[in-house]
Amino acid sequence: MRILVISDIHANYTALEAVLNDAGTVDETWCLGDLVGYGPDPNAVMEQVRELAHLTCVLGNHDVAIIGKMPLEAFNGDARRSLVWTEKVLTADNMDFMRSLPQNTKVRGHVTLAHGSPRDPVWEYVLNTLSARLNFEHFDTPFCFVGHSHIQSMFQLNVKNDRVTMEVAREREATELTPRAILNPGSVGQPRDRDPRAAYAIYDSQADTWEARRVAYDIAEVQQRIREAGLPEKHAVRLAEGW
């Protein structure tokens, strides 16, 4: 099956729309959390995600905070301002949908899904080979897909020599996956790898291939809506620079 893997949309509907158009027809969508926070379109994003057929979605840390299961004090000042605003504008239906989602890991076929990491599904970042190594013993499937860092990445465990390496998948090239690996599709709505284009991936669950993708979208339009909503200027500026 052809599966769309997305994460960290962060209330950026324009970026999400670009990703869905670029991805084309898929059999399933797996969302790794953080639908809200930072961006100006929490309701539009939630409503679009809710309409996706054959959706599997887990909660991210911003989502967990919105439903009252994490204190807002855990976030920096700008992120907290965005969450307070989101609480005020999110519809009751969208809040109920978010409350229905799991905040723990979810297993689909050969893959464990988590927002942060299999060891700490909500909060831990998998950013380097050390943090990846510490997480391989916390999932049993051949592969684990994570988000949270906003950086497209692949961590491969060589079971023969017990070495973990960090790799970067070539854009729009199907990479054949070898057990065991931790993969991150990057962020749809707020990339942090100095590439401002929306990031996502296509996973073929029969061939076990991973295709990292990027797509441009109208960043200026989103920046304008952030400013009109009175959200932190930092959240507008960083979109154009990918940090």
Report d(CA 209, CA 205) in Å as an integer: 7
Q: Nearest-CA neighbor of 144 among 177, 113, 185?
A: 113
* Owner of token pair 């988590």: 114
Neighbouring C-alpha atoms within 13 Å toward the C-beta of 159: 7
For residue 217, what are the contacts with CB-CB under 8 A and spacing of at least 6? 14, 15, 17, 18, 197, 198
Q: Is the pLDDT of residue 195 over 90?
A: yes
Domain assignments of the chain as residue spans, ordered by start: 2-241
What mean pLDDT value characterizes the chain? 97
pLDDT tens-digit series, residues 4-58: 999 999 999 999 999 999 999 999 999 999 999 999 999 999 999 999 999 999 9
Select the highest-mean-pLDDT range: 95-99, 156-160, 169-173: 95-99
The CATH code belonging to domain 2-241 is 3.60.21.10
Cβ-based burial of 195 (10 A; exposed 0-12, middle 13-18, buried ≥19)? middle
- Residue 203 binned pLDDT confidence (cut-offs 50, 70, 90): very high
In Å, the largest CA–CA distance within the chain is 55
Report d(CA 142, CA 161) in Å as an integer: 17
The whole-model pTM stands at: 0.97
